[in-house]
Amino acid sequence: MLLGGRGMVLPIIGQRSGHYADHQRLTGFTEELAKIYPDIKTLPSACCFLDSALAERLVLREMERNPLLNGVYISTVGRTGVYRALKRLGVAGKVHVVVHDLTQDNLDMIKDGVVDFAIGQDVKTQGTLPLHLLYQYLTKHQTPERRIYTTNIDIKFRYNTNDDAGNYLY
């Protein structure tokens, strides 16, 4: 959508194996992108090992190799490195960025015009519901009502991150 259906996107993940969420996020992103926007080329994913300095170097290197790069999708920690690289190159706002997690730094990067969208996945429910269900099972022998629970997905961008007083919603 941000790229008008054309372009080149660099996906950055945290680690190659052992992190299920990274794998799911990347798979969902690349599959949907290929299905809906076949004219957008997804570059091979880069791995930043949860290191923002490495994420910065990855973006700087990829921009040097592919000056037509116009999108970065980062599913992990390291987002501030992407931010620094795009600011340093003077392409902030021209290269579109999608990140995960509604953290203060992500909301600040949206405000600064470097990040376009932050995807939040209801971390409070994700963190507390499994513990609650496990507690109920262990102490009261109550099995969960269902096998799969879904959580809300919130997408924040420049125009829905503040309340009327200018305060961040998260």
Q: What is the pLDDT of residue 162?
A: 75
Which alpha helices (H) appear in 90-167, and where do they start and end? 104-111, 123-140
Cα angle 162, 165, 167; round to 5: 45
Determine the straight-line distance between the first and last CA of the chain, rounded to whole angstroms.
25
Sorting pLDDT into bands at 50, 70 and 90, what band is 166? Answer: low
User: 10 Å Cβ neighbour count for 127?
Assistant: 9
pLDDT over 90 at 52, yes or no: yes
C-beta of residue 125 within 8 angstroms of C-beta of residue 93: no
Helix (H) or strand (E) holding 11: strand 7-13
pLDDT over 90 at 165, yes or no: no
- Is the pTM higher than 0.85? The answer reads yes
Which string of DSSP letters, residue by residue, matches 16-37?
SSS-HHHHHHHHHHHHHHHHH-
In whole angstroms, give the CA distance from residue 1 to residue 154.
17
Residues ≥6 apart with Cβ < 8 Å to 84: 52, 56
Which tokens go with 122? 């209801």
Q: What is the pLDDT of residue 91?
A: 97
Nearest CA-CA partner of 68 in 43, 44, 87? 43
Cα angle 96, 70, 123; round to 5: 35
Stretch 136-146: mean pLDDT, rounded?
96
Is beta strand 117-120 parallel, antiparallel or unpaired with respect to 154-156? antiparallel
At residue 89, φ and ψ (nearest 5 deg) are: -85, -10
Q: What is the pLDDT of residue 81?
A: 97
User: 10 Å Cβ neighbour count for 156?
Assistant: 21
Q: List, for residues 3-50, the tens digit of each pLDDT value.
A: 999 999 999 999 877 777 888 999 999 999 999 999 999 999 999 999
Q: List, for residues 105-130, the tens digit of each pLDDT value.
A: 999 999 999 999 999 988 888 889 99
